[in-house]
Chains A and B, each alone.
Chain A
Amino acid sequence: MMGVIEGTIVWSNIIVLLALGLTMTYITTAVPNFAQASFAVVGSYIALTLLRFIGLDPYLSIPLTFIIGGLIGISTYYIALKPLIKRKASIEMLMIATLAWDLILFGIIGAYSEILGSLTKRTETLFVFTNLDFEVYGLPGRLIVSTMLVLLTIIGLYLLLYKTKFGIALRASMENPSLAEAMGINVENTRLFSWFISGSLACMAGSILPYLQEIVPQTGYFLIVSIFAASIVGGLYHIAGALIGGYIIGVSESLFTYLLSMFFGPGVLVYGKVISLIIMIIAILIIPRGVTGSILWRRLEKWLNL
């Protein structure tokens, strides 16, 4: 049971990091990014590459995956979205553009895994880092590192968004871009920044993921369901929504599936994503704008003067 709880926390932490990025880019650019999960798989492969070629521990490669991830995020915005936004493309068009971008990334990841395999003489189309993990007082490294990453990300985002001039400008641009522009804020810069952070967090999460599960080039297709469910359940219009939704989906997916497997056998584990989808559908029906868009949340915010 301890193993299940530990796995649940790590999985939830990863979903939170991924959902945070999705929500940020949705708020700033109004684009639901279908390539978000592929960013994570790119992160996994960056960590693998550094491990294979220079023997760098995947945990130590996190700063580098963070930066490369950020650059991938910016590239996505510049190559796939900005030209369309300039032509006043509809949100559906932009959404399809991210889908196309996801397919391109999938193709690149697939080809890269083959090339890497031919160079390392190993099977790189499927890999894990579980055998590389460390333990501190019986606690696995993935639990400690993923929790630390979530905490650092939340503290970092809080300090940035609430204590710096740029952060306030970012929040202003998220709420009302045209008014922000009238105040002299370069809204374009705030969008770029969101895409950088989105890519960074996703790749960072991706470098932890192989400590929890096997990675294959198609991993993104399984991940994306949980990421979207987390952002939608938490509320796509509030950064805190990603945090709340991430834990709701992460915990529900792991624990419910585990409980169901106790009754119906391990075959149920394959259908874990159904739990996320059911929760997402229920949330859309009851609270269409997610937890952070609910009346209760607004009352809580008012009460806390947030």
Chain B
Amino acid sequence: MTGRLARSLILWVLLLLVPFWLPMVGGYTALASRILVYALCAMGLNLLLGFTGMMSFGQAAYFGLGGYGAGLVLVHLSGSSWLAVLAGTVLGGAAAFLLGPVVMRRRGIYFAMITVAVGQIFFFVAERWDSLTGGEDGLTGFSRQPLHFGGYVLPLSDVPFYYFVLFFFALAAGVMALVLRSPLGHSFVAIRENRRRAAFLGIHVERYVWAAFAFAGLIGGLAGALNALQNNFVSPENLYWVESGNFVIIAVLGGMRSFWGPLIGSIIFIGIQDYVSSLFPNNWESLIGVLFIIVVLFFPNGILGIIRRRAGLA
């Protein structure tokens, strides 16, 4: 238990000090923001994937919606970055909540096919509704706005924006951790472990799958909103199904069964993506594809899974 406490302390200290040490090892702060954003989205997905045992392959839809929610607020409504984040989060969560009843009754590969296909609805809406979303060219014409604290104005340049992201990351991670330790979280895990038995104990499995799906969408929306602020741009590609695969591989690569797995996965995946795409601008997607296959064949339990097995804990 103390070991665990020490580890989280180290983790948070490292995260807090990123702008100081990352440049020294050849990284840049914006990369760290991107890693956190993708980690957050994959952690949300992992509520379904790793904790409820439901193979969702459509997380990008809620990520993208969060982006559009945030972008549209900044373009049309208000200059508040806070409000933009809130709008994106709500939009992602609401969409997942509304679609929950469509997906919740199915399991296994069926659930995967349906979640990925249903998410396409939003892709085509975003791509076709030119006047609102900018269509295929994506949504532009906004930029993240400075934060106002009383009379003090903080412009969100790279480093402050990293802390802005870290704030929401910590908030969401805290909420997720609390929920996973609550009876609700225990019920999610019960469904993963033995669906029939959970149902017989009086747990209405479908409603819990719905809840987990909406929760994952909410977190996806938050991550998407932060992503929009980071890029000052939202592309329909953000909610295309191909993007969903990235979140799944991030969760699997880090270790689906562990809470922090997706963070580890994101560090590696986004890190490799950043490095490889600058090195091989034409072939990096193939290399990412190879990474998928390597993970599946050789690291099915993810990095944290391996560490845990080595330590004899699993």
- A pairs with B: no
